[in-house]
């Protein structure tokens, strides 16, 4: 049993085998991070390439994503284990019109693992809901994810809406997702762009430690 085989099962969308393999690899003491990076995320990269080359279509992409999510669910307790009192609060969501949530869920899990309280707004989140929820939970950081070039401009809309409500400066805005870049972050007045879940969690932790503990 190896990580490459697991990646193939995820790509095929074989839910049963994906779950069995993830459980077995955990038993074999393969780290959750290795399973995640070298099998689950690697599988999604392959799925993306095949979709782009018209070798597979949306239904196949969807069943692969379901298998990926099932594997991720098994890893979740390990990735979110922190054992420390929450050091701050994040609200996170995927922008309006965008249904991609695997990356956002990973960012959430890594942040929880770093001892941060995370309120997940889900997918297809309107700018208004970001503003309402951030106020309701007294968030420190607002995390915004977008996976499509067509939905990326909605990140700017979310930040504009905070400005329109006069509350932009209450929060740190962290943005990410495949099409997002550092220069886009500057363009829409986000505070920080993070390329992956691990660095997003590290950066959030640093921001919160500076705010509350130093």
Q: Which residues bind ligand B1M (CB under 6 A)?
A: 41, 44-45, 47-48, 51-52, 58, 61-62, 65, 92, 97-104, 106-107, 143-145, 147-150, 174-179, 194, 196-197, 200
Question: Judged by CB, which is closer to ligand B1M: 83, or 110?
Answer: 110
Question: Judged by CB, which is closer to ligand B1M: 29, or 157?
Answer: 157
Q: CB 17: neighbour CB atoms within 10 A?
A: 16
Question: Judged by CB, which is closer to ligand B1M: 25, or 177?
Answer: 177
User: What's the min distance (Å) between Cβ of 135 and ligand B1M?
Assistant: 18
Q: Which of 192, 74, 79 is nearest to 140 (CA)?
A: 192
User: What's the min distance (Å) between Cβ of 30 and ligand B1M?
Assistant: 18
User: What's the min distance (Å) between Cβ of 24 and ligand B1M?
Assistant: 22
Distance CA 24, CA 71 (A): 11
Residue number with the smallest Cβ distance to ligand B1M:
103
Question: Judged by CB, which is closer to ligand B1M: 29, or 203?
Answer: 203
Distance CA 179, CA 105 (A): 17
Q: Which of 106, 94, 124, 12 is nearest to 61 (CA)?
A: 12
Helix then strand count (H, E) for the chain reads: 10, 5
User: What's the min distance (Å) between Cβ of 45 and ligand B1M?
Assistant: 5
N-to-C CA span, the chain: 47
The DSSP secondary-structure symbol of 125 reads B
């Amino acid at each position: 049993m190896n990580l490459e085989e697991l990646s193939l099962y995820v790509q095929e969308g074989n839910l049963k085998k994906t779950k069995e393999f993830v459980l077995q690899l955990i038993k074999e003491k393969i780290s959750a991070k290795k399973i995640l990076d070298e099998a689950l995320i690697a599988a999604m990269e392959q799925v993306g390439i095949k979709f782009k080359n018209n070798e597979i279509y949306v239904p196949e992409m969807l069943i692969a994503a379901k298998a990926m999510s099932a594997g991720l669910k098994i890893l979740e307790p390990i990735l979110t284990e922190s054992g420390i009192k929450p050091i701050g609060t994040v609200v996170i969501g995927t922008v309006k019109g965008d249904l991609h949530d695997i990356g956002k869920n990973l960012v959430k899990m890594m942040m929880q693992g770093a001892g941060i309280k995370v309120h997940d707004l889900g997918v297809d989140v309107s700018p208004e809901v970001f503003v309402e929820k951030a106020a309701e939970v007294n968030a420190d950081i607002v995390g915004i994810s977008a996976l499509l070039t067509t939905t990326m401009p909605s990140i700017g809309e979310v930040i504009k809406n905070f400005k329109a409500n006069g509350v932009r400066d209450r929060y740190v805005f962290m943005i990410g997702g495949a099409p997002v870049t550092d220069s886009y972050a500057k363009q829409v007045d986000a505070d920080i762009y993070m390329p992956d879940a691990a660095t997003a969690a590290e950066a959030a932790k640093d921001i919160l430690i500076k705010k509350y503990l130093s």
